[in-house]
Structure 1
């Protein structure tokens, strides 16, 4: 189980991440782009993934991580059941969402260089 405190702590640990309201939800943004929202009533997070990453994370358990059932889901918006998800899986998914939305230069500060063979 992941709490809002855990979500907030991890989301705000990323460079230039901010917390802002988004309608009746809480949003986490990088450079004004939302990478995650949290719905306190439903105890659910929604994160932005690429289509490939969405498929990979959903493959873990479609009752815990799954695309929104509309056009937003086809664009990578993915729901996470916070009371069911394990911390490690959640942390990986949220980190991936941050990388998806962060400007390339900012994301590269955290992400290891894929071309680095040393």
Structure 2
């Protein structure tokens, strides 16, 4: 899987827009980042800590917590270039849903 495959996957999710953060490509829904591409073959996804822990345990080598405080908040590296398409799609969609659902929850609480 290439970075461009991942880009197309992310952009196919409803409401997704491409942008940049610190000079790196990112993907947002409702203005919030759910995925970034800091380097070839690696994406960073917005997961919950529970989702992150499960993936790190069940997908060793595919997923790892981002070092430092960001990783403690659920930000997870996804090493996608040799991964199965369905697995990557599930992780990307989960990150998208985490942000999209949080934005929808906030909209309904006001």
* Fold shared by both chains (TM-score > 0.5): yes
Gaps of 5+ in 1: 108-118
Q: TM-score, normalised by structure 1?
A: 0.80
**Structure 1 residue 105: deviation in Å?**
7.7
> Which structure shows the bigger proportion of residues in helix conformation?
2
Could you say what the CA RMSD is over the residues aligned between the two structures, in angstroms? 1.9
Equivalence map 1:1-118=2 (5 Å): 2-40=1-39, 42-103=40-101
Runs ≥4 residues deviating over 3 A: 103-107
**Structure 1 residue 52: deviation in Å?**
1.1
Gaps of 5+ in 2: 106-110
* CA distance in 2 between partners of 1:62 and 1:3 (Å): 20
Q: TM-score, normalised by structure 2?
A: 0.85
Aligned length: 105
